Structure 1
Amino acid sequence: MSETIVYRRKRAKHPFGVAEAGKITMLSTDERDEKIIVYERRKHKKKQLNVLDENARIRTLSPDKRQDARMKTLSTDKQHEKIVVYKRRNTRMQLKDLPEAGRNTIIATDERHEKAPTNERYDKVIDYERGMLRKTELTDLPEEILGSIVSRFPLRDAVRTSILSTKLRRIWTCHPDLNFTSWAMFPENKIKGTEQMKLDLIQGMLSVLKQHRGSGVKRIVLRALLDQRTSSAINTCVRFAVTSRAKSLSLLLSPERPYCFPTYLFDTRDESKSVLEELYLKFVSLRIPPGFTGFTHLKRLDLFSVYDIVADELQDLLKNCLLLERLCLFMLKFEKLVISESLSHLRFLSLTGCHEVKRIEISAANLERFEFGGTNDTKVVFTQPLQKVRYASIQCGNFDSRVGEFVLRVLPRSIPGVQTLVWKTEGIEMDALPNCLGRFQSLKTVQVDLYATRGPYAGDVLSFAALLDAAPLLESFFLKLIGFVNHPYSGIEEFRRLPNSPHHHLKFVGIQDFTCSRDQIELVEYIVENAIALKNMIIKTSTECYRDAAINSPYMRKDERMQIM
């Protein structure tokens, strides 16, 4: 490269000095530090512009012409099409001052070095104003990512995003979770009366269903005090669930005039075959027509206070739900129910509040969780031992001989692998315990909720010691006493003592609402004497027991007793 040495003017003073200026002018153009120091000849007042190199030429232009000189570009050796902009020190280049090509030039990646067209989107745009990459806005993201973000919003917030941009106006119409409830669709400070809220809810639901694309729907929930008088709006919601191929449908309506569920919409002969996997109905009238096979994909069925369905219709419905994994029946009116072997996928079975049922037969071999709540007249028959059941919950009336026979003799041989047993019962009769007890070979946790009743057999807590003896591997025992009146032990009657039966695995014992009665103290004494491995025992007294003990305490002053009373 040819070098141009320019001598310092006679009266000109340079801040770097003559020697420093000479060093800078001797450097090549590529090594200069964006500072071209030009010295004029001692004899000539003006230096010809064409003698200087490119960098010096730009720096020596007048301020009026310097703006145009900034726009000039120099091509690099590798032809990366980078825009090289020379600017003065401490001067910020504005984006609007750059040429159109400079605005749309992208930083080349390792694999591709080309200039993007003006009308395309760019991964990285040079922001000349800040000297850094421009920040990506939310609307620049692909629709798939935006849809995933908006789908995590509640329905009301997802709809409100439509005012942000035209693109988001289309995104929310694919929301997968349609929750039509008053607290989900309206703010708390705008909830009005019942009738007005019904009208607003129906209007909002119909508006959402009309604008929704009808694809990608996973769950539809309608929870409102609607009945048969608003069946047209409810039918629209159910029909949308069928046409959109929703996976879950929940209808929780009003019990005043039960809504008639339209099973004809789920007829498999229709082209829009339903793929419904979860169905939850509450306060709904349900009738199953003969030969109905509309719920062949159903995996979860919850019927809560469903009206008009009879035992034969319910049985036909279950025969066609071969993929059923969860079945919950609450407060239904039928006399007999058969859970056959064809329900091989059934894992969870809950039958509670069905007080008119007389007989229940269970043959589901893969059942893992069983919950039953009914009267003492209901007979539960296990046609074969269910080896996979790990959790069982039994809720019945008084602890009489029939309940004792079922819990302490039938269950040990019917569900031998159960590990957790929850037993909810009322008063205990004297002859409730069977003569020969079964053995829970795998039972580790027992929870007993005992409800107090009136009468001579209000309860004898010591009877639950037999349950401890029936579970040799028991580790945790919890007893909750509900509604017991405080009758503390007077000290006159003698304690009853049961034969010693060591428990080598019982470690944790908890008793809640302890009232200090004789039978409760006897049970505690039995556990302390026989639980060899006991680590922790927690006894919580009731509020009344604490109050009576405090009032009768000789160490409490009279004014303190009055505050407690």
Structure 2
Amino acid sequence: MGSPAPPVPMDRVTEALLRVRGEDPQDQEALVGRILGYIHVVLPDPPVSRRATLRAFLPNDGVDRVSALPYALLRDIVSRLPDKDAARTAVLATRWRELWRRAPLVLVDSHFLAPAAASASTGEVARTEARRVTANVSRVLAAHPGPFRCVHLTCSYLGEFPSLLARWLQTLAVKGVQDLVLVNRPFPLALELPTALFGMRALTRLYLGLFKFPDTAGLPRTVNFPNLRELGLCSVVIFSKDMDFVLTRSPALEILCIQASLLTERLRIISRSLRCVQVVVATDLDILLAYAPHLERLIVWSVMAKERSNMRIKIAPAPALSIFGYLEPEFHTLEVGNTVIKAETRASPTTMVPTVKILGLRVRFGIGDDVKLLPAFLRCFPAVERLHIESKKTAEPTGKLNLEFWKEAGAIECIQSHIKLMMFHNFHGDQSELSFLQFILENAPMLTKLVIVYPKRTFTSVTEANSKLEPLFSAKWASTCCSLLLTEGAYAEGEEPLELQSFKRGSNFSVRDPFAFIVRV
């Protein structure tokens, strides 16, 4: 995991301010470097690559058949090349001279990095290289008349040029940029985006990283993003009112991705067009699904609670919602309609979301209060066919619950009538985990596959891992055609967050089950 270029070394003013606060500037630089790495995992890949190769076997007659292709096809070819290679096609032949200027441009600033620049993390070398990349971007933006098919800016340096970003955004707006990825290469960290952002009416996809979102108060009613279909906000400082503004003014938005919500206390989802909402590293964020008739996926990959552990997830009627997770009893308060779901809540039509087919839950099986909520949560989703459970280990277990608890919990419709697949992630072999698994096996007649995944290096051998499952084979399984697969995960516990392996799967509608990332099921 990493980014094309590390953060530019901080300026002396920022360094002095950190020292006054008693913080180590080197620690801060290392932290920002890690944040950049996480952001670049989430970002969509550029549509062109410098590593790609093009080969052709030419005939011996010397005839230039490529140049004889239709003009529209040549224009499309040039638009799919890295920017420097596209510009170089002007020397091929007379017909190619104006193609670069007339083809929709793809601009990726990491292509301007010198080979050794990506490792230059300190000193004037990094600043000089970043300034050079920034100057190259300015030249390309000025030289090409547009339109810009995709602009991917993650390595430029804007801290020393406060007015440059506004000029770039104005140029991109005028020249019709469609796909924009814009990440601040700090420092400064909270660089505010210019309001020129709101002039980009041709945008279909926008990803922003490490910026402060502009204040939307006072903007005219005519401001909107009429064509925006995908929006990603990565470590962006944005207030709830400004998030509301963006959702209201994006009538075609289908995909919303939020990584590390900053200052956003509430995400209120009101949209006729949204199909997928993904959140990763949500910090004290309430998610209120108020009105989204076409929303199919609501995915919270991970949370990070700072002050409270009752982040609210409220689900109003959601007729298209089919994938939901990860719901965590440790952090989340689930509200369906106007009912807060508690351990003693009885199932009723007003507390159910019958459209959900794929459900993810993250549970501390060593904490009794977490486990007691699990039956109530499962009753809210009576039609679940694929259940994903991630077991969270806790340093101080309290109130481990055995098989008797599950027998007394009563009927759970999704287990008794619908679940066909269950994947149990982060299996440690604890008795509380085994009790839950045994309950599933004894009460799920439709179950065809149980996949149990243990973290790398959890057990000393496969034999030891298999021995942990012996109690399950002495149980009476409700399904006569269920298979059990025990497999080791690719990472040790805490080594690689789940969301980093799966985030891009979440908004890929061709992936049926974004939670099934380990084995094909």
TM-score bucket of the superposed structures, by smaller chain: 0.5 to 0.7
Show the counterpart of 1:540. Answer: 487
Instruction: Give the 3 Å change call, closer, same or farther, for CA 244–487 of structure 1 in structure 2.
Output: same
1:259 aligns with 2:191: yes
SS at match of 1:231: coil
Aligned to 2:284: 356
Partner of 2:310: 377
Are 2:414 and 1:470 aligned? Answer: yes
- Residue-by-residue CA offset, 1:395-452 (whole Å, 9 max, x unaligned): 5363899799479969995531222222334454224324756164432212222232
Could you say which residue in structure 1 is the equivalent of 2:34?
none
Q: Give, as a single letter, the amino acid of the residue that structure 2 aligns with 1:473.
A: H
Deviations 1:370-390, CA, capped at 9 Å, x for gaps: 112445411122222x12112
Q: CA deviation at 1:476?
A: 1.3
Equivalent in the alignment of 1:214? 146
Q: 1:361 to 1:443 in 2, by over 3 A?
A: closer
Which of 1 and 2 has greater Rg?
1
Q: Which runs of 5+ in 1 are unaligned?
A: 1-129, 268-272, 546-565
Asked whether the 8 Å contact 1:398–1:427 carries over to 2, the reply is: no
Q: TM-score, normalised by structure 1?
A: 0.60
Please state whether the residue corresponding to 1:234 is helix, strand or coil: helix
Corresponding position: 1:433 with 2:372: yes
Deviation at 1:280, TM superposition (A): 1.2
Could you tell me which residue of structure 2 aligns to residue 323 of structure 1?
A: 252
**1:208, 1:238 → 2: CA distance?**
14
Alpha carbons of 1:541 and 1:361: their partners in 2 closer, same or farther (altered >3 Å)?
closer
SS of the residue corresponding to residue 98 of structure 2 reads helix
Counterparts of 1:47-196 in structure 2 under 5 Å? 135-182=63-110, 184-186=111-113, 188=115, 193-196=125-128
TM-score (norm 2): 0.65
Give 2:203's aligned amino acid. Answer: L
SS class of match (2:162): helix
SS in 2 for 1:249: strand
- Give the C-alpha shift of residue 212 in structure 1: 0.8
Q: 2:210 aligns to what? A: 283
Taking CA–CA contacts closer than 8 Å with sequence separation of 6 or more, which of the two structures ends up with the larger relative contact order? 2
Residue 191 (structure 2) pairs with residue 244 (structure 1): no
Cα–Cα, structure 1 residues 312 and 399, in superposed 2: closer, same or farther, change >3 Å?
closer
Deviation at 1:393, TM superposition (A): 2.0
Which whole-Å CA distance do the structure 1 matches of 2:476 and 2:132 have between them? 62
- The CA distance in 1 between the partners of 2:424 and 2:151, in whole Å, is 40
Cα distance in 1, alignment partners of residues 132 and 354 from structure 2: 54
SS of the counterpart of 1:250?
strand
Contact (CA 8 Å) 2:441, 2:476: kept in 1 or not?
no
- Answer yes or no: is the 8 Å Cα contact 1:360–1:379 preserved in 2: yes
Q: CA deviation at 1:473?
A: 1.5
**Residue 326 of structure 1: how far off its partner (Å):** 1.7
After TM superposition, give the deviation of residue 369 of structure 1 in Å: 0.8
Structure 1 counterpart of 2:385: 444
> Per-residue deviation at 1:331?
2.1
Does structure 1 residue 455 correspond to structure 2 residue 396?
yes
1:421 equivalent among 345, 352, 359: 359
- SS in structure 2 of the partner of residue 149 of structure 1: helix
Q: In 1, Cα distance between the equivalents of 2:287 and 2:64? A: 66
Q: Which residue of 448, 460, 473 maps to 1:507? A: 448
SS across alignment from 2:207: strand
Deviation at residue 171 of structure 1 after TM alignment: 1.2
Distance 1:173 1:498, change over 3 A: closer
SS in structure 2 of the partner of residue 285 of structure 1: coil
Deviation at residue 479 of structure 1 after TM alignment:
1.1
**CA–CA distance in 2 between the matches of 1:543 and 1:149?**
39
Greater Cα offset, 406-415 or 143-152: 406-415
Q: How far is 1:345 from its partner?
A: 0.9
Q: Report how far residue 541 of structure 1 moved.
A: 5.4
Q: Is the 8 A contact 1:474 1:505 kept in 2?
A: yes
CA contact (8 A) 1:241 1:249 kept: no
Alignment partners' CA distance in 2, 1:428 and 1:323: 44
| 1:346 partner amino acid | L
1:397 and 1:148 map into 2 onto residues whose CA distance is: 51
**Does the 8 A contact of 1:382 with 1:414 survive in 2?**
no
Contact 2:273 2:294 in 1 (8 A): yes
Amino acid at match of 2:414: A
Between the aligned partners of 2:293 and 2:104, the Cα distance in structure 1 is 35
State the 1:296 CA deviation. Answer: 3.2
Contact (CA 8 Å) 1:363, 1:383: kept in 2 or not? yes
In structure 2, the CA distance between the partners of 1:363 and 1:209, relative to structure 1 (3 Å rule), is same
- Percent of aligned pairs sharing the same letter: 18
Aligned-residue Cα RMSD (Å) equals: 4.3
Give how far 1:528 is off. Answer: 6.3
Q: Tell whether the 8 Å contact from 1:461 to 1:523 is kept in structure 2 after alignment.
A: no
> What one-letter code is carried by the residue in structure 2 that aligns with 1:390?
S
User: 1:80-118: CA deviations, max 9, x gaps?
Assistant: xxxxxxxxxxxxxxxxxxxxxxxxxxxxxxxxxxxxxxx
CA separation of 1:464 and 1:210: change in aligned 2, threshold 3 A? farther
Q: Residue 211 and residue 541 in structure 1: after superposition, are their counterparts in 2 closer, same or farther (change >3 A)?
A: closer
Is the CA contact (8 Å cut-off) linking 1:503 and 1:532 kept in structure 2?
Answer: no
Deviation at 1:275, TM superposition (A): 2.4
Helix, strand or coil for the counterpart of 2:425?
Answer: strand
What CA distance in whole angstroms lies between the structure 2 residues aligned with 1:527 and 1:186? 61
Aligned length, in residue pairs: 398
Is 1:200 matched up with 2:127?
Answer: no
Deviation string, structure 1 residues 249-294 (Cα, Å, up to 9, x no partner): 2111134313221114535xxxxx7322322111011123324343
Give the distance between the partners of 2:402 and 2:171, measured in 1 at CA.
55
Letter in 2 for 1:262: P
Corresponding residue to 1:305 among 235, 240, 250: 235
Q: Which amino acid aligns with 2:395?
A: R
Q: Which residue of 1 aligns with 2:511?
A: none
1:296 aligns with 2:235: no
1:388–1:417 Cα contact (<8 Å) kept: yes
Residues 211 and 143 of structure 1, relative CA distance in 2, 3 Å threshold: farther
Check the 8 A contact 1:461/1:519 in 2, yes or no.
no
C-alpha deviation, 1:478, in angstroms: 1.1
In structure 1, C-alpha distance between the alignment counterparts of 2:63 and 2:406, rounded to whole Å: 69
Query: How far did residue 344 of structure 1 move?
Result: 0.8
Contact 1:368 1:388 in 2 (8 A): yes
